[in-house]
Structure 1
Amino acid sequence: MGGDSAGLGEGQDGGRKGTGRRTVADEVGMEHLERCAWFLRGTLVRVSVRRYLPWALVASMLAGSLVKELSPLPESYLSNKRNVLNVYFVKMAWAWTFSLLLPFIALTNYHLTGKVGLVLRRLSTLLVGTTIWYICTALFSNIEHYTGSCYQSPALEGIRKEHLNKQQCHREGGFWHGFDISGHSFLLTFCALMIVEEMAVLHEVKMDRNHCLHTTVTTLVVALGFLTFIWVLMFLCTAVYFHDLSQKVFGTLFGLLGWYGTYGFWYLKSFSPGLPPQSFSLNLKQDSYKK
């Protein structure tokens, strides 16, 4: 009996020590997470970022396209369509953006307003974004189909059957060539700008470290920040390595129209999902800007 009791006591003490070590590790990890969130808040949440990021994307798209046409860069890991960022992030860009913005919008908006109805209204921005994504990608696919032909070689020689669609062409070993509007340019532009717009709510969120939502919101801020940097990086890679200039111009233009048509126009109206909650002073500034 004595041996059993000693063993149990040692295990309990060891468990307490282990718990202590985990607590210290958690504190250190949380400190690093908060520093990262502080840096991202100081960059992506600035009004100047929301104002100039669209122009920066357009400028980088044009500059990258000129580099591609006039002085192509040597092949690299990022020029390979099978790179990790492209396969696991860009090809699922809307899914990543949707899945991270959903809890972020819900938690921050409820923390500020405490109104479930308002939170649900704001979450409908994700349904609007999904609709824009679906319509634009379907439109791009149709444009490529109706402007394309099936060729026997990538040199665009020897038309085989012009009535084939892209899938049939590829199955028969052909190469489909049509006006392929850059879906990457569209989606990465739209996703990056939407994230930056939604993160503007952090101007208003003041949350103590002991608050039950602090860790979750901080983690979401870091995740959304890194996601935005990935979208911008891959947008630059698209500009430098892929598509023709006109295809990227149209893709970026659709992304900008999707963003401005919602956050710059429709969401300012009362019959809309609305903008992220803002203070009275910011609302006055916004009203004066609209005038």
Structure 2
Amino acid sequence: MSTIAFSSVKLYLGAISLVLSVGTLYSVVNSTYLDTSDPLLAHLPHPLQSTDYFANKANPLNTVFIKNAWGWTSGAFALLYATSSARTQSWNRLLQYVVATLAWLAFTSWFFGPPLIERVIVASGGQCVVVVPGSGEIIDVPFEHCYTRSPLSPATHPTLFASLTSDFTPPNPWSARPRLRKGHDVSGHIFLLTMSILFLADQLTHSWRSPTRWSLPHTLAVNANAALIAIWMLATCATALYFHTPLEKFSGFLLGVAAFGLTQLPPLSSPRAVTEPIPCKDD
């Protein structure tokens, strides 16, 4: 990694650390964060959603951007790469994207079975649970139901609901998808936002170092990437303020940095184009 690339990544790494630290400290001092691993709280609306815009999970920042974060990041990278000059396009950059995508899949979707984040929850004492509406009673169910994300109901799985102690009967028809709770719920949002910011910042260094004048499409692509990084910073701040415990946010940050680090291993880290002075002709 060149000096300017390393400096750029360090700058954004410091910015993420600052935003996350200040936001987390504020959330602890003012009790604004929701413990998403608590089965009695995780399914409820955030207590501050009526007064704090970003505490409401239905806000566009969450539903449009964060929920599709890697899709947005992928699109931004594709636009940046496609409009780059030929000398800054390389297989190394494409392989870096592939590695980052595989890291995203491994942590959030699939890793020879359950994703790594779910494995962490289970290993740290998590349980697969269903919260019964009305009574709020929690039913422990086998882990495979969380892994398959299959809906459960008294009609389809009567034995699982036979342990209900209250007289409350769920409405019919009713079903719910079980969720992993009670363990260490690594913040997947912080993980992905951290990796996305660092990845895009690193890719932008190819443009900053290019000796070729930017075309109009590439100028727009650079601005779009910078704007998306700003959105991811805002999303990081919102998550730090309102969701997950401090330790869960910190672990998500470390995993995001580690995932980005995979893209910087020697076989993948490509040299940046270096600006060279244009020689002058003698009179």
TM-score (structure 2 length as normaliser): 0.68
Alignment partner of 1:274 is 2:273: no
Match of 1:79 among 55, 63, 70: 55
- SS of match in other structure, 2:129: strand
- SS of match in other structure, 1:160: strand
Give CA-to-partner distance per residue, 1:67-112, whole Å, 9 cap, x none: 21221355422111111121111111111111221232244251x3
Match of 2:203 among 198, 201, 218: 198
Output aligned runs, 1:164-183, within 5 Å: 165-166=145-146, 167=149, 168=151, 171-172=175-176, 176-178=180-182, 179-183=184-188
* Equivalent residue number for residue 289 of structure 1: none
Change beyond 3 A, Cα 1:173–1:222: closer
The structural deviation recorded for 1:47 is: 6.2
The structural deviation recorded for 1:205 is: 2.5
Whichever structure has more helix as a proportion of its residues is 1
Aligned partners of 1:96, 1:159: CA distance in 2, in Å? 36
Alignment partner of 1:134 is 2:105: yes
The structural deviation recorded for 1:65 is: 1.8
* Equivalent residue number for residue 69 of structure 1: 28
TM-score (structure 1 length as normaliser): 0.66
The amino acid across from 2:215 in the alignment is H
- SS of match in other structure, 1:89: helix
* Equivalent residue number for residue 247 of structure 2: 246
Output aligned runs, 1:93-112, within 5 Å: 93-108=69-84, 110=86, 112=87
Aligned partners of 2:64, 2:77: CA distance in 1, in Å? 18
* Equivalent residue number for residue 215 of structure 1: 216
Change beyond 3 A, Cα 1:77–1:142: same
* Equivalent residue number for residue 124 of structure 1: 95
The structural deviation recorded for 1:48 is: 4.4
Aligned partners of 1:132, 1:145: CA distance in 2, in Å? 20
Q: Over alpha carbons, which structure has the higher Rg?
A: 1
Any conservation in 2 of the 1:150–1:160 contact (CA below 8 Å)? Answer: yes
Any conservation in 2 of the 1:122–1:273 contact (CA below 8 Å)? Answer: yes
Identity of aligned residues (%): 24
Aligned partners of 1:233, 1:243: CA distance in 2, in Å? 16
The structural deviation recorded for 1:57 is: 1.6
The amino acid across from 1:277 in the alignment is R
- SS of match in other structure, 1:72: coil
* Equivalent residue number for residue 194 of structure 2: 189
Any conservation in 2 of the 1:105–1:119 contact (CA below 8 Å)? Answer: no
The structural deviation recorded for 1:237 is: 0.5
Aligned partners of 1:276, 1:220: CA distance in 2, in Å? 21
Give CA-to-partner distance per residue, 1:149-189, whole Å, 9 cap, x none: 425469x9854224253444693487752332111000000
The amino acid across from 1:58 in the alignment is S
Match of 2:12 among 53, 73, 80: 53
Cα root mean square deviation, aligned: 3.0
Any conservation in 2 of the 1:153–1:175 contact (CA below 8 Å)? Answer: no
Give CA-to-partner distance per residue, 1:183-211, whole Å, 9 cap, x none: 10000000001111111112332444xxx
Change beyond 3 A, Cα 1:243–1:136: same
The amino acid across from 2:254 in the alignment is L
Unaligned runs of 5+ in 1: 1-44, 282-291
Bigger relative contact order (CA 8 A; separation at least 6): 2
